[in-house]
């Protein structure tokens, strides 16, 4: 299931400050990297019931957790957001929580059940984004979560996803005419910048890592660099040692353009020749080795090159519209009570 109306749809818990994000847009501008942020929004004084959806309570603690996660994902400086903006955001997030609850209730009314193995895989996928179990535990503590809460949210997310696929996703289609029309109307956006295709080997050492941990990560990446210099295959070493999600793909990150979100990485990558490996590159996330496997000149993207991405984009837009209509119908038939002012 694709991302729905807001970050609250789907697995609310799966915000992890990843070191890289792969993939590219139709113009081939390459991946972008989200920067983690510390969210410190004022909290409601007590865990009051803010709303009730067909008899199911939505307490203020759920709204505060959603707000904290949303700010962490979307605001580089949560402290710069005004009290009025926070108030408006809380109102929107409460509506998102109501919508999420309605979708989950509909999934249960439809008889959708999620087996324990699927839940365990979802939780393991989240945990696998952290270098150690201790980091995962700390993340949960910082977000006010427990392992049981993570599992329950995973179960709800998977059930809702199945419902959306059954009721909405399976009925959405994108035609060749839709794709061609979008391409013709957005040709200027289709022009891609100069880019390099990069693979990486990554040793995690985030901003919160103590000096000992950073030193250990640095030693690890330097030992791997020696292996690379000694002739070992870069992709094999990435699969064996890299701590990035792209390790399973031999470290392949895709194409990076010069305006990438981590300038220190793109600058280092553009200095390399095809087949060349960088020295150790340090970023706020840790230490990287980069290998350039291809270089691509700036130019227009053809319709065939852009087709897969345009198709995915249009499918997501159509699915979003269909989800909005489906959710509106659920709301029309639901008993929704707003019991307290949004804090």
DSSP notation for 202-237: EEE--TT--HHHHHHHHHHHHHHHHHHHTT--HHHH
The pLDDT assigned to 128 comes to: 81
Exposed/middle/buried for residue 131 (C-beta within 10 Å: 0-12, 13-18, 19+): middle
Q: Categorize the per-residue pLDDT at 78 as very low, low, confident or very high, splitting at 50, 70 and 90.
A: low
The answer to whether the beta carbons of residues 57 and 46 sit under 8 Å apart is no
Percent of the chain at pLDDT exceeding 90: 61
- Alpha-carbon torsion, ordered 269, 270, 276, 281, to 10 deg: -30
Residues 172-188: what's their mean pLDDT? 94
d(CA 265, CA 32): 12
- Those residues with Cβ within 8 angstroms of residue 22's Cβ, 6 or more apart along the chain or in another chain: 31, 245, 246, 252, 253, 254
CA dist 277 to 15, 27, 231, 263, Å?
Answer: 31, 26, 11, 17
The pLDDT assigned to 102 comes to: 97
The answer to whether the beta carbons of residues 258 and 270 sit under 8 Å apart is yes
**pTM beyond 0.85:** no
- Those residues with Cβ within 8 angstroms of residue 116's Cβ, 6 or more apart along the chain or in another chain: none
Q: Categorize the per-residue pLDDT at 72 as very low, low, confident or very high, splitting at 50, 70 and 90.
A: confident
Q: Categorize the per-residue pLDDT at 131 as very low, low, confident or very high, splitting at 50, 70 and 90.
A: confident
Tell the residue number behind the tokens 């999620």, with chain if given: 114
The pLDDT assigned to 14 comes to: 36
Per-residue pLDDT tens digits for 134-161 = 888 988 888 888 999 999 999 999 999 9
d(CA 275, CA 199): 10
Q: Categorize the per-residue pLDDT at 22 as very low, low, confident or very high, splitting at 50, 70 and 90.
A: very low
d(CA 70, CA 188): 32
């Amino acid at each position: 299931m694709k991302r729905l109306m807001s970050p609250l749809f789907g697995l609310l818990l799966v915000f992890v400050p990843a070191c890289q994000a792969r993939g590219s847009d139709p113009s081939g501008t390459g991946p972008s990297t989200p920067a983690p942020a510390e969210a410190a929004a004022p909290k409601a004084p007590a865990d009051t019931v803010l709303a009730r959806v067909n008899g199911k309570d939505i307490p203020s603690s759920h709204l505060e957790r959603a707000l904290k996660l949303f700010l962490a994902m979307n605001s580089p400086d949560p402290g710069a957001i005004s009290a009025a903006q926070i108030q408006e955001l809380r109102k929107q997030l409460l509506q998102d929580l109501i919508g999420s609850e309605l979708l989950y209730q509909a999934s249960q009314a439809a008889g959708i059940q999620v087996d324990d193995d699927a839940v365990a895989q979802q939780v393991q996928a989240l945990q696998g984004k952290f270098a150690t179990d201790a980091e995962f535990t700390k993340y949960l503590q910082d977000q006010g979560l427990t392992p049981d809460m993570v599992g329950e949210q995973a179960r709800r997310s998977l059930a809702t996803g199945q419902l959306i696929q059954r009721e909405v996703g399976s009925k959405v289609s994108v035609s060749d005419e839709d794709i061609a029309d979008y391409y013709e109307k957005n040709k200027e956006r289709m022009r891609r910048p100069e880019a390099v295709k990069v693979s990486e080997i990554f040793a995690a050492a985030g901003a919160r890592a103590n000096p000992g941990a950073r030193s250990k990560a640095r030693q690890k990446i330097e030992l791997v660099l020696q292996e690379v210099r000694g002739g070992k295959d870069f992709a094999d070493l990435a699969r064996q040692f890299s701590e990035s999600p792209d390790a399973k793909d031999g470290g392949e990150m895709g194409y990076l353009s010069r305006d990438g979100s981590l300038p220190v990485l793109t600058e280092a990558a553009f200095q390399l020749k095809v087949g060349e490996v960088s020295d150790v590159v340090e970023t706020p996330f840790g230490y990287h080795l980069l290998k350039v496997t291809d270089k691509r000149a700036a130019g227009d993207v053809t319709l065939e090159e852009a087709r897969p991405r345009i198709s995915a984009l249009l499918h997501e837009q159509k699915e979003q519209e269909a989800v909005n209509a489906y959710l509106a119908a659920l709301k029309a038939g639901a008993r929704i009570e707003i019991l307290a002012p949004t804090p």
